[in-house]
Amino acid sequence: MREPTAEAEYDTLRAVRVHEPGIEAAIGAMDPGPNHFARPFSVCEAKREHRRMVEVLEDAGVEVLPDGEGLDPDQLTNGGGGIHCMTSPIRRA
């Protein structure tokens, strides 16, 4: 398994971690404004689009890794249970 990394945005994509829309998308779709969505959307359609994106990436030879697969739980949290986004913990205002 390749470790997803990026040296530059123009490098060839070889491996990527992805997250299929789930309960967080459903909550956001119900009340889009406060959840930073431009408008209501279909979670079912978002899931279909996500699956199609994964197919396209895999067909192009990209290793697609579901989020959390093969990761130590400590890599996903800041020790207090908060999820990390990119390199910084998500903070709610």
* 60 located within any domain: yes
* 50 located within any domain: yes
pLDDT at 76: 54
pLDDT at 89: 47
* Number of domains the chain is built from: 1
More confident residue, 33 or 92: 33
32: how many CB neighbours lie within 10 A of its CB?
Answer: 13
Q: CA-CA distance, 7 to 52, in Å (whole number)? A: 26
Residue 53: which domain range? Answer: 15-68
* 78 located within any domain: no
Evaluate if residue 88 carries a pLDDT over 60: no
pLDDT in tens, 10-46: 888 888 889 898 888 888 888 888 878 888 888 899 9
pLDDT at 55: 96
For residue 25 the two structure tokens come to 């998308």
* 89 located within any domain: no
* 22 located within any domain: yes
pTM of the entire predicted model? 0.64
